[in-house]
Amino acid sequence: MEYLLELATSPTAWIALATLVVMEIVLGIDNLIFISILTNKLPVHQRTRARRLGISMALILRLGLLTTVAWIVQLTEPVIDIFGQTFSWKDMILIAGGLFLVWKATTEIHHSMDIKTEQEAAVSKTVVMGMAAAIGQILMLDLVFSIDSIVTAVGMTEHLPIMVIAVIAAVIVMLVASEPLARFINDNPTVVMLALGFLIMIGMTLIAEGFGAHVPKGYVYTAMAFSALIEVLNMLARRARQRKLDTEAQGQKS
């Protein structure tokens, strides 16, 4: 109790908590984009349940990993050496997760660009993916992002209560944002392609980090934010042109 009281009255602890909450929310964006794209391929009545289940599993994984902080720290220790390049378990998990993200995003882009007959398109819209397959893929990426998230948390503070509060706060934000984000992605097809591009970039970043190349996440998220801003401007321009065409069409009818 004295330990918790001391943390609660420490300005340094509050600063560390605020910083870590922001960091965990930013790191959760990657996970949330993947979950949104994947669950949008499910039948409509299963999407909300799948999103909530996927994000809940992310919370359980993160809290479970926090109880094994000592083991998580050991994941960063080198375990194999290949041609002079050492790899830890964390490195190998990041590489595997990055490769999966690149493969998944590339596959989705290929499907988006594949021209189908009307019958095939109707079938694909009815059932694109089963619930079990979607949850399995979400769980796999949850594990990768959770390990990355917890390693980041351990590097920023040594106080377990701060890590727990930050993780819970980040997951609550993910739960609140999941429905609007998924709906926005589903209603705007061009945003889907942009989001898939983000996943490829995130996957390549994970692979680079697995091979020991430090990629400042600030650069990555700044590039994502700039690209998203450009897409928003494009959407506004398209809507303005459409309104103009509708107005002209109404004028010609009258």
- Going from N- to C-terminal start, the domains of the chain cover 2-215, 217-254
Amino acid identity, residue 173? Answer: V
Split at pLDDT 50, 70, 90, the class of 123 is: very low
Q: How far apart are CA 10 and CA 181, in angstroms?
A: 36
What pLDDT sits at residue 254?
A: 64
Its pTM stands at: 0.69
Contact (Cβ atoms closer than 8 angstroms) between residue 105 and residue 112: no
Total number of residues shown for the chain: 254
What is the per-residue pLDDT across 20-56, written as a single tens digit (0 to 9) for each? 787 777 777 777 888 888 888 888 888 888 888 888 8
Q: How far is CA 122 from the centre of its chain?
A: 29
Side-chain-side CA neighbours of 13 within 13 Å: the count stands at 15
Please give the C-alpha separations between residue 114 and each of 117, 121, 127, 220, in angstroms, as whole numbers: 10, 10, 17, 29
Q: How far is CA 166 from the centre of its chain?
A: 17
Pick the range with the lowest mean pLDDT from 2-11, 157-166, 202-211.
Answer: 2-11
| 132 phi, psi to nearest 5 deg | -65, -40
Contact (Cβ atoms closer than 8 angstroms) between residue 48 and residue 179: yes
What is the per-residue pLDDT across 187-238, written as a single tens digit (0 to 9) for each? 777 787 888 888 888 888 888 888 888 877 778 878 888 888 888 888 888 8
Side-chain-side CA neighbours of 211 within 13 Å: the count stands at 9
